[in-house]
Chain A
Amino acid sequence: MIARNSVGAGVLARAVMGLTLLSGFAFAADLKAPKQATAGESITITAADSGHLLLFGPGGATKRKVSAGDVQIPGEDVRAAGRYMAILDDASAEFYVVAAKPSTVNFLARPSRVPVSRPDAISGVAFVFDEFQNLFLKPAPVKFDLSVKENAPATRTVESKNGIAFTRLPSASKEGAAQFVASVAGGTPVRRVVQQVASDACDLRMKAQKTDKSIIVETDPIKDCSGNAVPDGTIVTFIEVTDKGRSTVDARIKRGTARAELPLSSNGTISVASGVVTGNELHLGGGQ
């Protein structure tokens, strides 16, 4: 019984000794870091032993001599968001750095040129970053403003997801350079210009005049349905169909109207079109 006890005591003593050694070893190899930190804010790593502390991160790698105890890692060494690995001899500790508060956006606005009065014609994509160029992954409201000249802006606030917010906006009814702005609270707004141009011609009309050698056709001032002048250079097609055949002339809008000279004929029809829009038709003969 005693022997058994003495054997039991021996086992117990050895176990205690083993545990002490083990815990001592574990303590020597111990390295403690916070599970998560914020970019640019200093953190404390606790080392159980002195030596060289290696720190590997997504934006840098450092080696520093440390003594046992608390080791301050300055904010500048943990600016990049992502996974960090601290190593001291056999001990290691991982931790994650997450983005600081949002401070800026990278902004894609498309297209750079768009016809007026088109639904969902303009798209804006904003990538939300903190001051250290880390994508801010938590939801954050992003404000999109689209304005032309003195008109009130069209505003939309969209919550970002995984660092990205996007919106689609209609183009305005008035032509001109639209200011498309994306911003996050407290951050610098980012501006893009979207040129809004007249849409397709609306109510395209022409008149004709016979001369001795030809027929001169000319349109009225060409405007879109919102009253914006269709840009000079836009092609307008005049087609004359007579019993002798068909003549087609492509003319460019110049100072708001398009003009062409067609072969002289006493019968037939003349039509006009710009893009997919057709205008009035004139019938030759009968004094016209």
Chain B
Amino acid sequence: MKNWLPIVLIALLTLVYAAEKNNGPAVELNAEAAQPRQVEDVTEKAITRDYANAWKVLETALSENRTDQLASGFAGVAQDKLEKRIEGQRASNLKVRIIDRGHKLEAIFYSPEGSALQVHDTAQLEIEYLNGNSVVHREQVTQRYLALLTVGEDRWKVRVLEEEPQS
């Protein structure tokens, strides 16, 4: 029985790791500086969950050149641009693989009626650029994003996602 214990523990850890991975990357939100409205606790949790989901969707979409899941995390301009990006990747047989090391969000604007939230995101990413199935470039970056999220029927969706030039 004792011989089985390490195997069971490893299996459990694998399951926990897989479950965490399934929920998307680690996302931390600091909403103290949000203006002009204070972000409610429930909203903070929803933003964290939905932003993580959006990045999970993004990573799958870029690495598999799929657009079918995009609408579950993105809307409007962000969704349009991602669709075009994936269309371009597909046409040129290119892919991007992102290994996501986590996001630190700082809320900077929360609209008075509570339907739009803007954040600065500092993301730790490993990015692989693929030509066909060959990795042609690999990099580790700390990238700043400006994201605008709006609340939809049942979740927050990313409406704008733009990389900011490094200062």
Please give the residue numbers on chain A whose beta carbons come within 8 Å of chain B beta carbons, in ascending order: 35-36, 52, 54, 56-63, 80-83, 85, 87, 92, 96, 98, 108, 110-111, 123, 125, 127, 129, 133-135, 137, 161-164, 166, 168
Contact = CB atoms under 8 A, between A and B. Distances in A.
Given A54-B131, A56-B129, A164 B136 contact: no
A163 B109 CA distance: 11
B94 A123 contact: no
Contacts of A81: 162-163
Interface in B91-119: 92-94, 96, 108-109, 111-113, 115-116, 118
Contacts of A56: 89, 94, 96, 129
Interface string B38-76: 000000000000000000000000000000000000000
The secondary-structure label for the interface of chain A is strand
21 contacts: A35-B165, A58-B163, A59-B81, A60-B85, A61-B88, A61-B92, A63-B131, A80-B81, A80-B85, A82-B163, A92-B137, A96-B165, A98-B165, A111-B113, A127-B116, A135-B160, A137-B146, A162-B108, A162-B109, A162-B118, A162-B146
A32 to B, nearest CB: 16
B158 interface: no
Contacts of B113: 108, 110-111, 123
B149 interface: no
B36 A166 contact: yes
B136 A61 contact: no
Contacts of A168: 112
A162 B139 CA distance: 28
Contacts of A96: 163-166
A83 B127 CA distance: 13
Interface residues of B, number: 36
B77 interface: yes
A161 B85 CA distance: 27
Contacts of B160: 127, 135, 163
A124 to B, nearest CB: 9
B84 interface: yes
Given A63-B94, A85-B137, A134 B85 contact: no
A194 to B, nearest CB: 12
Q: Which of B81, B143, B160 has the most CB of A within 10 A?
A: B81
Contacts of A137: 146, 162, 164
A174 to B, nearest CB: 24
B132 to A, nearest CB: 10
A104 to B, nearest CB: 11
A166 B112 contact: yes
B92 A62 contact: yes
